[in-house]
Amino acid sequence: MADKHILSLEVPTVANCEILSIRDTSKYTDLLPVDCSELLITVPGFNSGKLISVNPGFSLDINACDLGLQTTDCGTVRSELPDGVYIIKYSVSPNDKVYVEYNHLRVTSLLSLYYKVLCDIDVNDCEPFSEKQDLIKEIQYIRTLIDAAVSKVEYCNSPHIGLDMYNYALKRLEKMVCQTAGC
């Protein structure tokens, strides 16, 4: 049995633009208490985070009201959460020593647009003609850019490079929207 807690979180990509899903995947030892569990989430564009008290083993779907981004109509309407780099820190007592921190690149809105473009590309034929082949190659390249952006932020610890890649993918995707749906 381990003599310390091994903290970890899972932050899956979700299709719902109104929530950020976070799950505690930590391994806790029976040899130490688990007190003062805290989740600190810093939203893109903010310098300080929103502190959320949690219990070990939590599974949360956090919305704009939970993060203080929406302050009215919380019981009836949910605002979309922005894409971008979220800094997520989970800690237990002593919170300054026992913690884990992640950079998470939220790409939910970008992926929604990506899927819309896929819906607009008519590929009913097994052998699409040249123009469709070019569209398919471009959408595959954009998906690779999105995946690379997430990798840069979450695995390579390069949030600025990842965000630049995100913005480049968004620009190319918006250009495709104009090509497929017309602008």
Give the tens place of pLDDT for each residue, 139-174: 999 999 999 999 999 999 999 999 999 999 999 999
Measured CA distances, 56 to 22, 61, 145, 175 (Å): 12, 15, 35, 45
Report which secondary-structure segment, H or E, holds 179: helix 159-181
Write down the pTM of the prediction.
0.91
Q: Are 89 and 101 in contact (CB under 8 A)?
A: yes
CATH among 2.60.40, 1.10.3470, 1.10.510, 2.60.120 for 9-106: 2.60.40
> Within 10 Å of residue 178's Cβ, how many Cβ atoms?
9
Measured CA distances, 28 to 11, 132, 133, 181 (Å): 19, 52, 51, 51
- Write the pLDDT tens digit of every residue in 34-78: 888 999 999 999 999 999 999 999 999 999 999 999 999 998 999
Q: What is the DSSP letter of 94?
A: S
Q: Are 41 and 62 in contact (CB under 8 A)?
A: yes
Q: Where are the domains of the chain?
A: 9-106, 108-181
- Write the pLDDT tens digit of every residue in 8-39: 999 999 999 999 999 999 999 888 888 889 99
